[in-house]
Amino acid sequence: MKNLLETDLKHILDNTKDLWGQIRNKRIFITGGTAFFGRWLLESFVWANDKLNLNSTALVLTRSPQRFREQAPHLVCNRAIRLHKSNFCSFAFPKGKFEFIIHAATENNFSPDSLDMYDNNVI
């Protein structure tokens, strides 16, 4: 089956190809990887990892691995993706060395009159 995002992913890779070598054979820890922006990041990562033979892996923090399996089975089944179940406000940092950490998680109940979202993201 053809990847419906192929055109976009090719464009991303064509314009960032020189950057991906930095993650060759590296482990990445990602918070927020299962939401809208994080999923684009994972789509791009998996595409580049496969096309450039980067041999990199990403451990993705998620509150609901089962829901993500249902929504994006092609990502969860990719050999480079592993899921770590927890909430970004109260998780035990996973064991092992990570050369890169990407914090893309954010609260989705933002209230413009509140500093809760800011406090949670900064803490």
Concatenated DSSP letters of the chain: ---TTHHHHHHHHHHHGGGGGGGTT-EEEEESTTSHHHHHHHHHHHHHHHHTT---EEEEEES-HHHHHHH-HHHHTSTTEEEEES-TTS-PPPSS--SEEEE----S---TT-SHHHHHHH-
**Torsion angles phi and psi, residue 115, rounded to 5:** -100, 5
pLDDT in tens, 81-119: 999 987 766 777 888 999 999 988 776 655 555 666 666
Give the count of alpha carbons within 13 A of 64, CB side only.
7
Mean pLDDT score of the chain, rounded to an integer?
A: 86
| Average pLDDT, integer, range 62-81 | 93
Tell the residue number behind the tokens 């970004």, with chain if given.
Answer: 88
Reported confidence tier of residue 75, pLDDT bands at 50, 70, 90:
very high
Map out the domains of the chain with their CATH numbers.
25-107 (3.40.50.720)
pLDDT in tens, 13-29: 999 999 999 999 999 99
* Token duo for residue 75: 């990502």
| Average pLDDT, integer, range 46-74 | 94
pLDDT of residue 88: 67
**Separation of alpha carbons 57 and 123, rounded Å:** 26
pLDDT of residue 20: 96
Biggest CA–CA distance in the chain, Å, is 46
Of 93 and 50, the structure prediction assigns the larger pLDDT to 50
- Supply the pTM of this predicted model: 0.82
